[in-house]
Amino acid sequence: MTTVLPPKQEGTYTFASQPRAVPQRKKYREAVPQNPDGPMQYGNIMYDRRVVRGNTYAQHTLPATAQPDPIEIQRQQENRRRAIARKRAKDQLRPRSPDPVEGRKHIDVQTELYLEELSDRVEEADQECQTDAFLDRPPSPLFIPAKTGMDVATQIYEGDLFDFDVEVKPILEVLVGKTVEQSLLEVMEEEELANLRQQQRAFEELRNAELVEQQRLEEQERRHREEKERRMKQQREILRKEKETAEKIAARAFAQSYLADLVPSVFGTLSDNGYFFDPVERDVEQGFLPWLMDQVTYELDRSELGRLALDGLLREVVSKRIDIYDALAAGSAPASAADGRISAAPNSGSKEGEESTLEKPEEESAMSTVIEGGEAPAPLAAAPEGEEEQQAAPTEAAEGAESGEKAEAEATPEEPAAEAEAPAAGGEEEAGHSAAAAAATTTTTTTKDQKITKIQQQHNNNNNNNNNNNNNNNNNNIQQCSSSSSNNNNNNNNNYDKNNIQQCSSSSSNNNNNNNNNNNNNNNNNNNNNNYNNNNNNNDDKNNKSTLLEKISDQEKRIFSERLTTK
Amino acid sequence: MAGVVISASYPPNIDPTRTPLAYGDRAIPRLNRELNDERLLVRQRAVVSLCDHLHDPEHIAEALRNDIGMSLKNLLKDQDLTVRQKATECLFVMAGHALGRDSFLETESIYPVAKLFDDAEDIARKNAHLCVMRISETPPGAEGIVKAQFVGVLVNKLQTELNEIKELILDTLHFCMREDTQCALEANAMEAFTLLLKHELPVIRAKAARDIMDLSVPLAGKDRAVACGTLQLLKDMLIDPTKEVRANAAGAIMTITITTKGKYTALNCGSIPPLVALVDDLNSEVRLNAIKALTCLSEAPEGRQKLLEHVEKIRNHENDHIAAVAKAAKIAVKVITWLP
C-alpha cells in the first residue's frame, strides 16, 4: 500500500494510491499485532486525518507567493522556539510535585478550607471487563456424515466358507510331516551313527584281541627262538673251547719235545762263548791282575830307580875311588877291581829290586821289560803315573761313592765285541754328586750301562726315594737328569740310540714317574716336568711300549744278537 | 479391519534367525549365494538354514554338487562367532556321511578348522573338534589329520581344554593312532594319557585307557608306557565301577604286558588278582580283555605259576556264548598249562 503525499503547492488536493485489495478482517486476533506505529489503516474517509475538515475559508492558507520569505520563516521559527523555551522555563520554575509512581496518575485535589463542589465532573466508576484468554483452535471434529441408507448385515456360519478340519488336514499334514521327517532324519542319523559305533566297538574288541594275540605269539616265538639260539651258541662255545684246549695241549706237547734240547744247546753255546763266567775269577782276571801287574811294574820301577840311584852312587863312588886310586896310583893302580864292582852294582840293585817286587810269574816278565826298557824311564814313569791317576780316579770315585750314598758302580765288561762297537774308547768319567742337604734316602741305581763315553750328571736335590734308572745303550749320550724336590721321583731313562741328549728335570710335587724310552737317533729330549702330584710321563718313541724289564731283556737280546753276528 | 495390503515383510511368526528356503532345487543355489553375501545378517541366516537342511543325505549330495564345501570353508574364517560356529556344525553334519567326508578332504578344510581349535569361544571349538572327530573315523581322514601334523596340537590341547572337548580329542586321537602312532609318541601323548587316567569323569578315564591301549601297540609305545608308570594306575582302574573303564584298562594292560619288561612290571604291581576277578564280569569286552591280559602274563614263569591256581575259573569260560571270549579262554588255558 503505497500512498504518495503530494507536495502542497497548488490549492488542490490530490491523493493517489495504488489500488489494493481489501484485507480480510480476521475474527480472531493474531499473535503479533502488526504496525502499531504506522498510520492506522482507515476505511472511513471522515476519520482520516488527512482530510480537511470544517471551514475551508478560514484556514491557514499559504501566501500567494509560493516562496515564503526565508527570513520570515526563520523569524517565525525563532519566535516559536522562544515561546516554547519560555513556557518550559516557566514550567520548570513552578514547583511540581514529584512524578507519580509507576502505574498511577496525579489528580488535583482540593486542599482549601472550603471545598468546592465540582459539578462539572461526572462521577466515574471504573468498570472492567475482560474477555477470556483466547483459546487455540480445537481440531475439527470428524465429519461423520449422518447415516443414510439401509442397513444390511451378513453372517458367516461355521461350515460356510470352509470346513476347517478338512482344509487344515493337508496343511497340518505337511507341517507335521515335514517336522516328523526332519526329526526322523535326525534320529535315524543318530541311530545309524550309534549302530556304526556299536559295530565299531565290537570290531575293535575283536581287533584288539587279535592284535594282542598276534603280538603275544610273536613275542613268544621270539623268546623261544632267542632261547634256542642262546643254547646253541653256548653249545658251540663249549665245543670250540674244547677244541682249543685240545689243540693247545697238542701244541704244548709238541713244543716241549721240540725245544727239549734247545736249552742245553743254548747254554752250551753261551758257555762256549764265555758268557757264563765266574765273577770272582773274572774280577780277579780283570781287576786284580792288572792292578797286580801295575803294582809289580811300580815296584819294579821303584826298585830300578833305586838300582839306578844305587848305580849312580856306586858309579860316583867308583869314579871317585878311581880318581883317588888314579891319584894314588898315579904310578900303579889295579883298574880291574873297579870294573868288577861297577858291573856288580847294577846287578845288586836289580836284585834288590827283584826282592822288593811281588812274587808272580808275570812280574818277572814285567821286570824284564822294565829292565830292558830302562832307556825310557820317563815314559814308563809317566805311564804308571797315568795309571796311578787312573787308578786314583776310580778309587776316588769309589770313595765318593762310599761316602756319598750314591754309588754308581759300573762294570765295564771287556768284551771285544763291545769295544769294537765303541769307536771312541775313552775313559769314562762319572762324577756323582749327592747333595745330601736333606738326609733322605736316595738310592740311585744305574744298571748295566754298557757303552762308554757318557757324561752323566745327576743332581738330586731334596729327595725322597729318587730312583733313577738310566739305561743308556748308546754312544755319546749326554744325559742330565735333575730331579728336584718332593717325593718319589722315578726317572727311568732308557736311551737306545746314538747321540742322545736328554734332559729330564722334574721338579716339585709327588710321585713323578718319568719313563723316557727313546729309540731314535739324534733326538734331543728336554723333558721339563714341573708337575704336581703323580705325573707319569712315559715318552715312548717309535711305538715302543715295553717295560723296563723288557728293555733290559731287549738290551740283552740286542747285545746277544750282536755278539752272535760279530762272532 | 485389517488393511488389505500385501506386505513386503515376512509374516510375524516365522523364525527370524533363518532364511526361508526357496522352492525345490533353487534352495541350495540361493543359500550358496547368500553364504557369500557381504551382509552379516544374511550370511548368518543362510548358514543356520543350511545347517538344518543338511540333515538329509540327499540334500548333502545336492549341496556338494553346488560347491557348498568351498563356501563353508570361506565362512570358517569369518569374524562373527555365529557364522563360524554354524559353519562348523554344517561341516560336522556333513562329515557324518561319506560324501561329506570326501568333500572335506578335497577342499582341505582341515586347516581352517584346526585354526578354530584356538578360538576363544567354547562352542566354536567344540564344533570344530566334533567335526574333526567325525573326519578321523575314516582312514583317509585319519591319515589326512596325521599328515597335516595335528596330532601334536591335539595332544597339547588335552591339557588345557574343557572336559567335553577332552572327550572329543581323545576320540580323535584314538582314530588317528590306528593310522600312525609315531607322531603321538613324539608328542608325549603317553604322559598326557597317563595324567588323564586320574580324571574324575569315568568317560574320560575310559577313553584315556583306550588311547593308551592304542598307543601301546608298537614296541616303542609299550616301553614308554612302562617308563611312565602307567601300569600301576591301570591296575587301580580295574576295580572301577564303570564297565568301559574296566574294559579299557584291561585292554591297555593286555597290550603293554606283551613285552617282558611290561610283564614283570605288571606282576610286581600285583595285577593278577583284579584281573582274575574281572574274568567273571558281566560285560563281554571286560571278560575278553581280562582273559587276554592273563594270557600275556602267563607267558612269564612267575605268572604261570600264580595262574595255575585260577585255571579252573578260566576254563569255565571256554563255553561262553561270545565266540571271542571262548576262544580267548581256550588259548589262555593252553598257555597257562604249557610246560617247556
Model pLDDT, residue B157: 84
- Is the CB of B320 inside 8 Å of chain A's CB atoms? no
Pick the residue from chain B with its C-alpha nearest to A181.
Answer: B56
- Is the CB of B294 inside 8 Å of chain A's CB atoms? no
Inter-residue contact A516 to A537 (CB < 8 Å): yes
Contacts of B106 (CB under 8 A, 6+ apart): B69
CA distance A164 to chain B (A): 21
Q: Could you say which DSSP state residue A288 is in? A: I
Cβ count within 10 A of residue A485: 17
CA B146 to chain centre: 14
User: Which among A182, A205, A213 has the least Cβ separation from residue B55?
Assistant: A182
Give tens-digit pLDDT for A155-170.
Answer: 888 778 878 888 888 8
| pLDDT, average across residues B31-39 | 86
B255/A213 CB distance under 8 A: no
Beta bridge partners of A510: A487
Instruction: Read off the amino acid at residue B286.
Output: V
Phi, psi of A467 (to 5 degrees): -110, 110
Residue A10 pLDDT grade (very low, low, confident, very high; cuts 50, 70, 90):
low
Cβ count within 10 A of residue A364: 14
Model pLDDT, residue B310: 84
Which chain B residues have a beta carbon less than 8 Å from that of A185?
Answer: 55-56
Within 13 Å, how many C-alpha atoms sit on residue B38's CB side? 0
Inter-residue contact A479 to A470 (CB < 8 Å): yes
The three grid cell numbers given for residue A453, joined into one nine-digit string: 763315553
> Residues, chain B, total?
340
Q: How far apart are CA A34 and CA A21, in angstroms?
A: 18
Q: How far apart are CA A301 and CA A518, in angstroms?
A: 49
Inter-residue contact A341 to A310 (CB < 8 Å): no
Q: What's the burial of A513, exposed, middle or buried (CB within 10 Å: 0-12/13-18/19+)? A: middle
Q: Indicate the SS3 state at residue A433.
A: strand
| pLDDT, average across residues A445-468 | 44
Greatest CA separation found in chain A?
A: 251
Please report, rounded to a whole number, the percentage of residues in chain A having pLDDT higher than 70. 52
Model pLDDT, residue A565: 62
User: Which among B96, B258, B259 has the least Cβ separation from residue A212?
Assistant: B258
Please report, rounded to a whole number, the percentage of residues in chain A having pLDDT higher than 90. 8
Cell 758302580 found at: A409
User: Which among B56, B296, B324 has the least Cβ separation from residue A205?
Assistant: B324
Contacts of A267 (CB under 8 A, 6+ apart): A276
Interface residue of A183, A184, A210, A212 to substitute, partner B, most B CBs within 10 Å = A212
Q: How far is CA A346 from CA A336, A371, A379, A477, in A?
A: 17, 11, 21, 52
A212/B255 CB distance under 8 A: yes
Q: Which of A12-16, A65-69, A375-379 has the highest mean pLDDT?
A: A12-16
Model pLDDT, residue A82: 94
Q: How far apart are CA B155 and CA B146, in angstroms?
A: 12
Cell 541366516 found at: B45
- Is the CB of B52 inside 8 Å of chain A's CB atoms? yes
Interface residue of B203, B215, B292 to substitute, partner A, most A CBs within 10 Å = B292
CA distance A169 to chain B (A): 20
| pLDDT, average across residues B39-49 | 87
Q: How far is CA A460 from CA A70, A163, A182, A399, A456, in A?
A: 163, 139, 111, 19, 13
The three grid cell numbers given for residue B82, joined into one nine-digit string: 555365529
Q: Nearest Cα to B230, choosing from B189, B186, B200, B282?
A: B189
Please report, rounded to a whole number, the percentage of residues in chain B having pLDDT higher than 70. 96
Give tens-digit pLDDT for A514-527.
Answer: 444 444 444 444 44
Model pLDDT, residue A479: 47
Q: How far is CA B292 from CA A227, B67, B194, in A?
A: 24, 49, 22
- Is the CB of B285 inside 8 Å of chain A's CB atoms? yes
Give tens-digit pLDDT for A231-270.
Answer: 999 999 999 999 999 999 999 999 998 888 888 888 889 8
pTM (whole model) above 0.80: no
- Is the CB of B326 inside 8 Å of chain A's CB atoms? no
Give tens-digit pLDDT for B143-167.
Answer: 888 888 888 888 888 888 888 888 8
Q: How far apart are CA B189 and CA A505, in angstroms?
A: 65
Of A413-417, A538-542, B82-86, B113-117, which range is least confident? A413-417
CA A95 to chain centre: 121
B285/A193 CB distance under 8 A: no
Whether residue A78 is predicted with pLDDT greater than 90 in this model: the reply is: yes
Q: Nearest Cα to A503, choosing from A468, A532, A520, A527?
A: A527
Interstrand relation of A3-4 and A16-17 (parallel, antiparallel or unpaired): antiparallel
The three grid cell numbers given for residue A288, joined into one nine-digit string: 786284580
Q: Could you say which DSSP state residue B319 is in? A: G
Pick the residue from chain B with its C-alpha nearest to A212.
Answer: B255
A211/B255 CB distance under 8 A: yes
Please provide the average confidence, as pLDDT, over all residues in chain A.
Answer: 67
Cβ count within 10 A of residue B93: 23
B52/A182 CB distance under 8 A: yes
Give tens-digit pLDDT for A422-450.
Answer: 333 333 333 333 333 333 344 444 444 44
User: Which among B52, B259, B292 has the least Cβ separation from residue A212?
Assistant: B292
Give tens-digit pLDDT for A157-204.
Answer: 877 887 888 888 888 888 999 888 888 888 888 898 889 888 888 888
Residue A218 pLDDT grade (very low, low, confident, very high; cuts 50, 70, 90):
confident
- Is the CB of B295 inside 8 Å of chain A's CB atoms? yes
Residue A80 pLDDT grade (very low, low, confident, very high; cuts 50, 70, 90):
very high
Residue B229 pLDDT grade (very low, low, confident, very high; cuts 50, 70, 90):
confident
Q: How far apart are CA A336 and CA A67, in angstroms?
A: 230
Model pLDDT, residue A364: 45
Which chain B residues have a beta carbon less than 8 Å from that of A223?
Answer: 260, 299
Q: Indicate the SS3 state at residue B91.
A: helix
User: Which among B284, B295, B324 has the least Cβ separation from residue A216?
Assistant: B295
Q: How far apart are CA A283 and CA A68, in angstroms?
A: 196
pLDDT greater at residue A386 or residue B244:
B244
CA distance B296 to chain A (A): 6
Whether residue A90 is predicted with pLDDT greater than 80 in this model: the reply is: yes
Q: What's the burial of A176, exposed, middle or buried (CB within 10 Å: 0-12/13-18/19+)? A: exposed
Which chain B residues have a beta carbon less than 8 Å from that of A215?
Answer: 217, 255, 258
A185/B55 CB distance under 8 A: yes
Inter-residue contact A339 to A314 (CB < 8 Å): no
Model pLDDT, residue B10: 67
Q: How far apart are CA B271 and CA B302, in angstroms?
A: 13
Beginning with the edge strand found earlier in the chain, give each strand of the sheet holding A477-484 in spatial order. A454-461, A477-484, A501-507, A524-530
Question: Which H, E and C letters describe A105-150, residue by residue?
Answer: CCCCCCCCCCCCCCCCCCCCCCCCCCCCCCCCCCCCCCCCCCCCCC
Q: Nearest Cα to B190, choosing from B167, B213, B159, B224?
A: B224
Interface residue of A205, A210, A224 to substitute, partner B, most B CBs within 10 Å = A205
| pLDDT, average across residues B224-233 | 84
Instruction: Read off the amino acid at residue A206.
Output: L
Whether residue A540 is predicted with pLDDT greater than 50 in this model: the reply is: no
pLDDT greater at residue B48 or residue A444:
B48
Q: How far apart are CA B233 and CA B209, in angstroms?
A: 10
Model pLDDT, residue A564: 62
User: Which among A193, A206, A219 has the least Cβ separation from residue B258?
Assistant: A219
- Is the CB of B62 inside 8 Å of chain A's CB atoms? no
Interface of B with A in 156-175 (CB under 8 A): none
Helices B219-227, B202-215: axis angle to 10 degrees equals 130
A189/B55 CB distance under 8 A: yes
Which chain B residues have a beta carbon less than 8 Å from that of A206?
Answer: 324
Concatenating the DSSP letter of every residue in A457-522 gives: EEEEES-BS-EEEEEE-SSSEEEEEEEESSEEEEEEEEE-SSS-EEEEEEESSEEEEEEEEE-STT
Helices B163-179, B151-160: axis angle to 10 degrees equals 160
